[in-house]
């Protein structure tokens, strides 16, 4: 974010003697800092992320601050990265490094949708192997520690039969399994697929949009 609306206005720099907090409406993941001539620091924050960002600013002051006030908030409630490309997916370490970067620049949303993860797209009905489940569970914890929302996307449009109760049950089972891994947000993707319905679905639905 780093879009301060009111910069500290005084040239005087004082030691920070006391820091107090209060939750209030400060905009998207926002905060307000006030430092008086006695070194008292007041932090208003909108949510946990806002408080987290404000505390970083206080730490960066290294025990002393300019007298005055500042406020910071994001213009967008969701700020993040989509891992949704074709090609070799990121490694576990790649994703953790990316989450660290996102935390540093105050992004808050990561969409997991690597097209060449077979269990995301080509083999979406199949459960992840246990080792991969454990890796994704650790990734969910890593993101949660940084207050980044991790969303699991599944791309079923290559071969889903929209009129099939079995396919619907397979989709629900897969999402429940990913919820057990630790995901709390989900996306259902229908990009890069044949726009025409198969004959069985065409007999039930008047359009792909209706089917989806």
Q: Which residues are known catalytic residues? A: 192
| Residue 182 to residues 22, 80, 125, 138, Cα–Cα distance (Å) | 30, 19, 19, 9
Phi, psi of 74 (to 5 degrees): -95, 145
Q: Note whether 114 and 139 are within 8 A (CB).
A: no
Q: What is the largest CA-CA distance in the chain?
A: 76
Report the alpha-carbon angle 142-91-173, nearest 5: 70
How far, rounded to the nearest angstrom, does the alpha carbon of residue 189 sit from its chain's CA centroid?
Answer: 17
């Amino acid at each position: 974010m780093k879009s301060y609306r009111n910069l500290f206005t005084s040239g005087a720099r004082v030691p920070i003697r006391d820091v107090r907090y209060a939750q209030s409406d400060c905009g998207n993941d926002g905060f307000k800092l006030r430092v008086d001539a006695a070194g008292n620091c007041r932090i208003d924050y909108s949510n946990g992320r806002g408080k987290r960002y404000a505390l970083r600013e206080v730490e960066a002051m290294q025990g002393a601050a300019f007298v005055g006030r500042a406020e910071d908030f994001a213009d967008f409630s969701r700020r993040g990265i989509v891992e949704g490309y074709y090609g070799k997916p990121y490694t576990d370490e790649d994703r953790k490094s990316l989450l660290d970067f996102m935390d540093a620049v105050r992004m808050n949303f990561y969409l997991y949708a690597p097209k060449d993860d077979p269990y995301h797209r080509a083999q979406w009905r199949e459960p992840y192997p246990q080792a991969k489940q454990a890796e994704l569970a650790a990734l969910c914890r890593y993101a949660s520690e940084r207050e980044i929302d991790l969303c699991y996307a599944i791309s079923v449009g290559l071969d889903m039969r929209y009129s099939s109760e079995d396919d619907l049950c397979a989709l629900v089972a897969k999402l429940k399994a990913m919820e057990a891994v630790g995901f709390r947000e989900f996306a259902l993707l229908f990009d890069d697929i044949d726009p025409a319905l198969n004959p069985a679905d065409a007999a039930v639905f008047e359009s792909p949009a209706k089917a989806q």
